[in-house]
Amino acid sequence: MKVGIIGVGNIGGTLAKKFARAGHEVQVAAARGASQIRQQVEEMGAQAVEVTDVAKGVDVLILSVPFSAMPELASAVAKARPDVVLIDTSNYYPFRDGQMAELDNGKPESVCSSEQIGRPVIKAFNAVLAFTLAERGLPAGAKGRLALPVAGDDSRGKAIAAELVEAAGFDAVDAGGLAESWRQQPGNPAYCTELTSAELRDALASAELGRGARKREELMAEFIAASAFPDHDTVIRRNREVAATRDLAA
Ligand SMILES: NC(=O)c1ccc[n+]([C@@H]2O[C@H](COP(=O)([O-])OP(=O)(O)OC[C@H]3O[C@@H](n4cnc5c(N)ncnc54)[C@H](OP(=O)(O)O)[C@@H]3O)[C@@H](O)[C@H]2O)c1
């Protein structure tokens, strides 16, 4: 497939490398411009392009930027074919993105992304920490292979996103339509907790509407207050513990 990626950070960069290695034709753009990312991107086996060109001719376009930057991508996305599969990896973190009332009032983040860029999106690769994505993928069928959720309203788009999740080394679990995609947002049991397929299905089913945002804030306050940012395994453990504990504020 021909895959475009906007964002060459922790997630976009890792996906570029993995998809290029899997034999896909990958072109990548970032805010800095093609000349500033060319060396890094070529070392990944991909091609550096400008944001204005990244959507042209691709089968899949992955949006991997901070949530607050999503509206800036609308004109680039408008150049994509009508049947392009758009994948949104973003998460809303108010400390980074600023407070957004509609999200605070419960609109699923990827519903909002979709409205901001004017096209339907598939939500995938948002519920995995960059380290997990880079280091903990396994071949299909391997014992203990971790799983990632894929949500969206278009079955063809979901199937293609699921194919890319598998190519990245993870089982893909159908997480329902975009209206249900809050289940894989920060603070929920399915978010960055390194689960197998069966565990992930249970985690998605056990999510409680409105609770994730409170848990997200609880965790961020804890991580920011710590003298040093916790290591990867501590983050996973605390994500699991905090998402699973009763919400005293509810
Ligand atoms: N880090 C994680 O573990 C993780 C896990 C799952 C999901 N996510 C989510 O995935 C998204 C990306 O996360 P990340 O950690 O990869 O972020 P990151 O490392 O900060 O990288 C962000 C990338 O977005 C690019 N960018 C920002 N604004 C842009 C714009 N207006 N036009 C084009 N490119 C723009 C940046 O370009 P420059 O390089 O030129 O600055 C950068 O390459 C976020 O929404 C995040 O919440 C992150």
* Position 232 in a domain: no
Establish whether residue 130 lines the binding site of ligand 1, counting it when its CB lies within 6 angstroms of any ligand atom.
Answer: yes
Q: Is the CB of 110 under 6 A from ligand 1?
A: no
**Residue 157 is part of a domain; what is its CATH number?**
3.40.50.720
The answer to whether the pTM exceeds 0.75 is: yes
Q: What is the pLDDT of residue 247?
A: 55
Residue 64 forms part of a structural domain:
yes
Measured from the CB, is residue 126 less than 6 Å from ligand 1?
A: yes
Which has more pLDDT, 246 or 112? 112
What percentage of the chain carries pLDDT values higher than 70?
98
In a domain, 85, yes or no: yes
Cα dist from 61 to 12, 53, 76, 119, 123, whole Å: 11, 11, 10, 11, 12
Q: What atom in ligand 1 is closest to the CA of residue 51?
A: 33
In a domain, 188, yes or no: yes
Query: Atom 25 in ligand 1: which residue has the minimum CA distance?
Result: 7
Q: What are phi and psi of 6, to 5 degrees?
A: -105, 115
Residue 241 belongs to a domain: no
**Best mutation site among 6, 8, 10 for ligand 1 pocket (most ligand atoms within 8 Å of CB):** 10
Tell whether ligand 1 has an atom less than 6 A from the beta carbon of residue 91.
yes
Q: Is 31 in the pocket of ligand 1 (CB under 6 A)?
A: yes
Residue 216 domain flag: no
User: Model confidence over 104-126: pLDDT tens digits?
Assistant: 999 999 999 999 999 999 999 99
The CB of 68 under 6 Å from ligand 1? The reply is no
Q: How far is the CA of 64 from the centre of ligand 1 (A)?
A: 5
Q: Is residue 212 part of a domain?
A: no
pLDDT over 90 percentage in the chain: 96
Residue 12 has pLDDT above 90, yes or no: yes
Question: What share of residues in the chain are helix, strand, coil (percent, to 5)?
Answer: 45, 10, 40
Mean pLDDT of 187-191: 97
Which pLDDT value is given to residue 245?
73
With respect to residue 220, please indicate whether it lies within any of the assigned structural domains.
no
Ligand 1 atom nearest to 10, measured from its CA:
16
Distance CA 146, CA 199 (A): 9
Residue 23 clears pLDDT 60, i.e. is over it: yes
Q: pLDDT for 198-217, tens place per residue? A: 999 999 999 999 999 999 99
Tell me the C-alpha distance between 132 and 142, whole Å. Answer: 16
9 touches ligand 1 (CB under 6 Å): yes
DSSP 6-74: E--SHHHHHHHHHHHHTT-EEEEE-TT-HHHHHHHHHHTT-EE--TTTTTTT-SEEEE-S-GGGGGGGH
Average pLDDT, the chain: 96
The number of domains in the chain is: 1
State pLDDT tens for residues 123-172: 999 999 999 999 999 999 999 999 999 999 999 999 999 999 999 999 99
Contact 7 CB / ligand 1 (< 6 Å): yes
Q: 132: number of CA atoms within 13 Å, CB side?
A: 22
Query: Is residue 7 predicted with pLDDT exceeding 90?
Result: yes
Q: Which residues pair with 5 in a beta bridge?
A: 28, 62
Q: Is the pLDDT of residue 249 over 70?
A: no
Run of H or E including 174:
strand 171-174
Question: With a 6 A CB cut-off, is 90 part of the ligand 1 pocket?
Answer: yes
Residue 40 to residues 6, 57, 72, 97, 123: CA-CA distances in angstroms? 14, 23, 23, 26, 26
Neighbour-count burial of 98, counting CB atoms closer than 10 A to its CB (0-12 exposed, 13-18 middle, 19+ buried):
exposed
pLDDT at residue 246, rounded to an integer: 61
194 C-alpha vs ligand 1 centroid, how far in Å?
21
- Give pLDDT, residue 250: 41
Q: State the residue range of the domain holding 141.
A: 2-206
Q: Average pLDDT for residues 5-15, to the nearest whole number? A: 98
Find the 7 Cα to ligand 1 centroid distance in Å.
Answer: 5
Confidence of residue 244 (pLDDT cuts 50, 70, 90): confident
What is the Cα–Cα distance from 141 to 171, expressed in whole angstroms?
A: 9
- Indicate if the pLDDT at residue 71 is higher than 80: yes
